[in-house]
A = this chain, B = another copy of it.
Amino acid sequence: MKKTALIMAGGRGERFWPKSRKSLPKQFLSLTDDGRTMIQLTVERIRPLVEIEDIYISTNRDYKELVLEQLPDILPQNILCEPVGRNTAPCIGLGAMHIAKKYEDALMMVLPSDHLIKYQKMYLHALKEGFRIAEKGRNLVTIGIMPDYPETGYGYIRFRPEETDGGAYAVEGFVEKPDIQTAREYLQTEEYLWNSGMFIWKVSSILQNIKELLPDMYGGLSTIGEEIGTEKQEMTLEKVFPQLESVSIDYGIMEKAKDIYIIPGVFGWDDVGSWLAVERIQKSNESGNVVKGNIITIHSKNNIIQGGQKLIAAVGLENLVIVDTDDATLICDKDSTADIKMVLENLKICNREEYL
């Protein structure tokens, strides 16, 4: 069966401010040493499994030009621009409709555009296993990540350790972000994995699930689907898509669907969730500083410094994140990266759109 992929690239990535902006979110940035952007790496990573003409990019229309520029090999008609953001269920449904239009049925991977993978071959192995399971029936397959610690910022997936099929386990259920105590308990049971937001299924399987669990959405998606390839395609999308319920695929489908499998992903996954991730991705020097750009450090240790052309002199500093861009500089204690959103709130309140 034909293998296809939908890469979701509509996110705003506020946690990487000031490098990420409304006009240039995280997935379009390079945070690794090699210069390729997150979305470019995402596409390259799956190329051994999926033909370029079968890769779809779902994004906000504001980012269409960025996608065309960074991924010139993607077919322009495969760049699916949502008129408004409606969370992941409508986004995935729209992708499924496009693929169904082209191939009737096909295998479909759904992937975030802003995660990093360390071990490429192991990653492909997991995806192949996902395709194998998905092709067998109406099931839905997800990739789960082995938790390193009781993270409260991710959803968790409970599986049945005794019920296996090759590299996959049957899923008992999806659960939302837990509190720290609950997260600790999850880890102790040894029956929970992190929800990575990566899914594999047949187009027919996901559409059937949407039809049963989100019938109104299915109706809207069908209306849009009928006009794909016609003159009315854009107009219909414009009219119908905004009316779709804004709901995540996790809440709308995965928490309610039956016959779900999970493949434990062991391939060095990183969701690059904040500036602190840079420490995991890039090499630190002997003082524990991760520096990029034109930097002088004096008696400074364990800092993340992302500079540009401008010289940055760090003297007597410890545990800071310093990010310089052409029009804004962030200096943030490592323990306060969650407060970066307060800077953005402040900018919004003050109508300083140019910095958002």
Which residue numbers of A lie inside 8 Å of B, CB to CB?
17-18, 296, 298-299, 310-318, 320, 322, 324, 326-333, 335-337, 339-340, 342-343, 346-347, 352, 355
Known: A329-B310, A346-B298. A339 touches B324 (CB 8 A): no
Q: Are A331 and B331 in contact (CB under 8 A)?
A: yes
Cα distance, A17 to B315, chains bound together (Å): 12
Q: Which residues of B contact A326 (CB under 8 A)?
A: 310
Interface centre among A311, A327, A328, A342 (most CB of B within 10 A): A311
Excluding A312-B329, A331-B331, 16 further A-B contacts by CB distance (< 8 Å) are A296-B343, A296-B346, A298-B336, A298-B339, A298-B342, A299-B342, A310-B329, A313-B328, A313-B329, A313-B331, A315-B330, A315-B332, A315-B337, A317-B320, A317-B333, A318-B333
Residue of B nearest to A328 (CB): B311
Q: Which residues of B contact A317 (CB under 8 A)?
A: 320, 331-333
Residue of B nearest to A345 (CB): B298
Cα distance, A189 to B355, chains bound together (Å): 58
Residue of B nearest to A303 (CB): B331
A105 to chain B, nearest CB (A): 49
Q: Which residues of B contact A340 (CB under 8 A)?
A: 313, 315
Cα distance, A296 to B329, chains bound together (Å): 10
Known: A320-B331, A328-B310. A339 touches B355 (CB 8 A): no
Known: A339-B298, A339-B299. A331 touches B346 (CB 8 A): no
Cα distance, A317 to B330, chains bound together (Å): 11
Q: Are A333 and B311 in contact (CB under 8 A)?
A: no
Question: What are 7 A-B contacts with C-beta separation under 8 Å?
Answer: A18-B311, A310-B327, A311-B328, A312-B331, A314-B332, A315-B332, A331-B331
Cα distance, A175 to B314, chains bound together (Å): 36
Cα distance, A299 to B329, chains bound together (Å): 16
Q: Are B312 and A328 in contact (CB under 8 A)?
A: yes
Residue of B nearest to A18 (CB): B313
Cα distance, A299 to B183, chains bound together (Å): 28
Cα distance, A329 to B337, chains bound together (Å): 21
Q: Which residues of B contact A339 (CB under 8 A)?
A: 298-299, 315-316
Contact of A330 among B313, B320, B332, B336 (CB under 8 A): B313
A322 to chain B, nearest CB (A): 6
Which 4 interchain pairs have the tightest Cβ spacing?
A: A316-B336, A316-B333, A315-B332, A311-B328
Cα distance, A333 to B18, chains bound together (Å): 23
Q: Which residues of B contact A327 (CB under 8 A)?
A: 310-311
Known: A298-B342, A329-B324, A343-B296. A335 touches B313 (CB 8 A): no
Q: Are A332 and B346 in contact (CB under 8 A)?
A: no
Interface centre among A314, A329, A339, A355 (most CB of B within 10 A): A329
Q: Which residues of B contact A347 (CB under 8 A)?
A: 296
